[in-house]
Structure 1
Amino acid sequence: MTDTNTTPVTPEPASKGSRAKALLIAGTTFGLAAIAYAVWVLGYAQYRESTDDAYVQANLVYVNAQVGGTVTALGADDNQPVKAGQTLITLDHSDAAVALADAGAQLGLAVRQVREQQSAVDQGQAVVAQRRTDLQRAQDDLARRTQLAGTDSIAAEDLQHAKQGVAAAQDALTVAEKTLATTRAPVAGITLRQNPAVLRARAAYVQASLATQRNDVQAPMDGVVARRSVQVGQHVAPGAALLAVVPLQGAWIDANFKEPQLRHIQVGQPATVGTDLYGGHVEYHGVVASIAAGSGGAFSLLPPQNATGNWIKVVQRVPVRIALDPKELAAHPLRVGLSTDVTIDTHSRSDEQKPAMALPGANFTTPVFDAQLKTAETRADALIAQEAGSAQ
């Protein structure tokens, strides 16, 4: 009979061959992965330092009251964009207008007084010329009488009177010359515009004109209004903080890197920045502008005291400032405080430390106040010209 329970046996060599093939494939895969990882680390990763502890920062330009007064109008509110020179807050102009009118009257009076002094000099010169003519006439009269002295044609008394006339004319000329010198002293060697009295009155007028203009508080630069702390009807004193303007066009990134990451980070190295605001389709390109002088905790209000018995080592972070491309920043504006991801390319390494770089796109000057001074001076000069007429 045939045994039907016989189980066929799989050849053992075939099973071992499949297992060896699988192990070979797995080993090859892991080997290739290890090689790829090593290439990635050696060729890319070791030259990249990244952190997500990075935030958008910008200057906070405070706008203060330069003169005191009562707020009559608000030209902008929080979160509104403003342009340089735009009126943000209006103060009551009444007192400033009265002071400006008084200063204008004083300036006009000073100009007229100087003109009178100049006219007095001309008059004094005419008097001196007249006295010289009188002296010359008296001298000529004395000379004629002197020739006739000792004859019966002239009496001794007439000759004496002629001598007295010459002396009187000489004295009158001396008085006229001294009077002219006194009159000429305030205006000698200077024009009407250079006269100290006019300059003093002009300075007072310019100051009053500036005070009038400063009742309209203007934005010092382009930006967005923040921290408005003033209301209509409120009386503000000179120097009071009214609001702030944030120039977002000059924003930058403060990226906080760990101590070991700072080993190869240097000023001038390129960086890429990503934000959650625009997602992964927007990437900013920047450059390392500066590295802070200490860790964030070192400059805090209450710096840590590590000289204690329970000290625990904590890896510190140091702020690295990243300057952004102004064109990219204008195309996709950022807001202060937003979190970002920063990656720095450290391929470029040098033993020489580069100085800190200025942030591109950040305007640290304002022409607003210069324009106010120029306007005040132009008004003062126009008033002087009006009062002086042709005698400038």
Structure 2
Amino acid sequence: MTSPETRTAPQGNPARKKALTAVSAAVLVAGAAYGIYWALVLNHFESTDNAYVQGNVVQITPQTTGTVVAINADDTDHVKAGQWLVRLDPADAQNALDQAQAQLAQTVREVRTLFANNRTQQAQIALREADLARAQSEVARAQDDVSRRQPLVSSGAVGQEEFNHSKAQLTAAQSSLQAARSGVLAAREQLASNQSLTAGTSVDQHPNVLRASARVREAYLALKRADLLAPVDGYVARRNVQLGQRVQAGAPLLSVIALDQVWVEANFKESQLQNLRLGQPVELFADVYGKNVIYHGTIDGLGAGTGAAFALLPAQNATGNWIKVVQRVPVRVQLDPAELVKHPLRLGLSMDARVDVSKTDGRMLADAEQPAVAVQTSVFEQDSREADAKVQQIIAANGGPQARPAPPAVDDTVLTSARTLAALNH
């Protein structure tokens, strides 16, 4: 028998060694390939599936209190900017407008009377000046009579009674002269008082007319606001108003969402923000369409804080049971409008976002320059123009623009003519 020392060790399994070697080589190759792929491709992208579609939710709220008498749109309906959606009872607003229009018309006529009184007072001054000139002529004539008769009284050529009669006429003429002077002064003061109400203005720019015009505009706008208009094109959502409902100013009745102006809010981890820059290209996939539809966009802005910072109940990290949680920052991604037309999105849909961060020369924050107006509507400008046109129509109908400012004071030619007329009458 062969001793144990002389026995040879069993030969290893060559097939098993080859398999292990192949697996190890495959793992090394796969690891190297993944490392190369990560260095060349994955290292240039940041991705997240915590992304959702966002958009402007335009709430339709009444500006006045009223009762709903008509509804012109329902959920999922598409509406155009300027289309009326809800109508309130306009009876009270119409009554207020009628009263304001009547008050404006009356005010215009009263202001026209003020301007007409200026011309009347000018004529009164001319008349009082003529009376003054006549009174001065009477005093001069009576003084001449007294001066001629006074030397003749001592010689008896003129009787004392006749002389006393001449002195009485002089006294009466002087009294008339004083009254005429007072009349001229009173007429001038009356003109100055009336001119203080019309100086430096016209009928349509008079303060009383402007105040009444403002009331007409206010009442007209209140009437027009009985129809609640759509500020933008979009789709109706969350309609909670019913016929006959009494609504208060500011109460939300329904919403209009412009689905052609949506964007994506991608919530990246704070550890992913290092290479994110404005303007970097983004590829997005929507769960509703799957991987077959690719959306292309660009980073439009990075949030100024994490979601937890703006939460309704923010975390109190100073408490003793604190646990560190990786925070996320919202990143706004602007989508291609043409792709939204082909494949429309709805608010709140889930998205997958992948950002190409190979170019890091862009800005992380927007510059300090004031941007242009992001969104605006001209739907309500028409109401203001119509209100102004209504005011001008009322003023013109009541003769406002035809009224002229007060004429200048009576010149010396008028006074000279008045004195000449008085002398001829004397």
* TM-score, L = length of structure 2: 0.78
Q: Do 1:267 and 1:356's aligned partners in 2 also have CA atoms closer than 8 Å?
A: no
Deviation string 1:331-376 (CA, Å, 9 cap, x unpaired) is 4322101111111111221496432799x99953222333322221
Equivalent position to 1:264, from 275, 290, 294: 275
Aligned residue in 2 for 1:129 = 126
Tell me how far 1:145 sits from its aligned partner: 4.3
Aligned residue in 2 for 1:165 = 176
Alignment of 1:237-252 (within 5 A): 237-252=248-263
Structure 1 residues 362 and 245: CA distance shift in structure 2, 3 A: farther
Aligned residue in 1 for 2:216 = 205
Distance in 2, Cα, partners of 1:354 & 1:308 = 32
1:302 and 2:324 are equivalent in the alignment: no
Distance in 2, Cα, partners of 1:206 & 1:55 = 44
Tell me how far 1:230 sits from its aligned partner: 0.8
Letter in 2 for 1:66: Q
1:391 and 2:403 are equivalent in the alignment: yes
Aligned residue in 1 for 2:47 = 50
Letter in 1 for 2:198: V
Aligned residue in 1 for 2:198 = 187
1:368 and 2:379 are equivalent in the alignment: yes
Letter in 2 for 1:182: S
Alignment of 1:220-239 (within 5 A): 220-239=231-250
Distance in 1, Cα, partners of 2:219 & 2:364 = 51
Q: Do 1:289 and 1:357's aligned partners in 2 also have CA atoms closer than 8 Å?
A: no
Aligned residue in 2 for 1:85 = 82
Alignment of 1:26-105 (within 5 A): 36-105=33-102
* TM-score, L = length of structure 1: 0.85
Number of residue-to-residue matches in the alignment: 375
Distance in 2, Cα, partners of 1:99 & 1:165 = 56
66-75 or 36-45: bigger deviation? 36-45
Q: Do 2:115 and 2:403's aligned partners in 1 also have CA atoms closer than 8 Å?
A: no
Equivalent position SS for 2:147: coil
Deviation string 1:146-200 (CA, Å, 9 cap, x unpaired) is 4454224x93333333322221211111111112222222222211122121111
Structure 1 residues 143 and 333: CA distance shift in structure 2, 3 A: farther
Q: Do 2:277 and 2:363's aligned partners in 1 also have CA atoms closer than 8 Å?
A: no
1:120 and 2:132 are equivalent in the alignment: no
30-39 or 381-390: bigger deviation? 30-39
Q: Do 1:267 and 1:357's aligned partners in 2 also have CA atoms closer than 8 Å?
A: no
Equivalent position SS for 1:344: strand
Identity across the alignment (%): 43
Equivalent position SS for 2:242: coil
Equivalent position SS for 1:284: strand
Distance in 2, Cα, partners of 1:368 & 1:239 = 18
Tell me how far 1:205 sits from its aligned partner: 1.1
CA RMSD of the aligned region, Å? Answer: 3.2
Structure 1, unpaired ranges of 5+: 1-17
Structure 1 residues 379 and 230: CA distance shift in structure 2, 3 A: same
Deviation string 1:228-262 (CA, Å, 9 cap, x unpaired) is 11101111122222111222222111111123222
Distance in 1, Cα, partners of 2:320 & 2:209 = 74
Structure 1 residues 255 and 362: CA distance shift in structure 2, 3 A: farther
Aligned residue in 2 for 1:290 = 301
Structure 1 residues 102 and 109: CA distance shift in structure 2, 3 A: same
Distance in 1, Cα, partners of 2:72 & 2:389 = 27
Distance in 2, Cα, partners of 1:185 & 1:305 = 69
Higher radius of gyration, 1 or 2: 2
25-34 or 172-181: bigger deviation? 25-34
Distance in 2, Cα, partners of 1:98 & 1:74 = 23
Structure 2, unpaired ranges of 5+: 1-14, 150-164, 405-426
Tell me how far 1:27 sits from its aligned partner: 9.1
Distance in 1, Cα, partners of 2:368 & 2:285 = 22
Structure 1 residues 331 and 124: CA distance shift in structure 2, 3 A: farther
Structure 1 residues 330 and 140: CA distance shift in structure 2, 3 A: farther
Distance in 2, Cα, partners of 1:58 & 1:388 = 52
Tell me how far 1:22 sits from its aligned partner: 11
Structure 1 residues 304 and 162: CA distance shift in structure 2, 3 A: closer
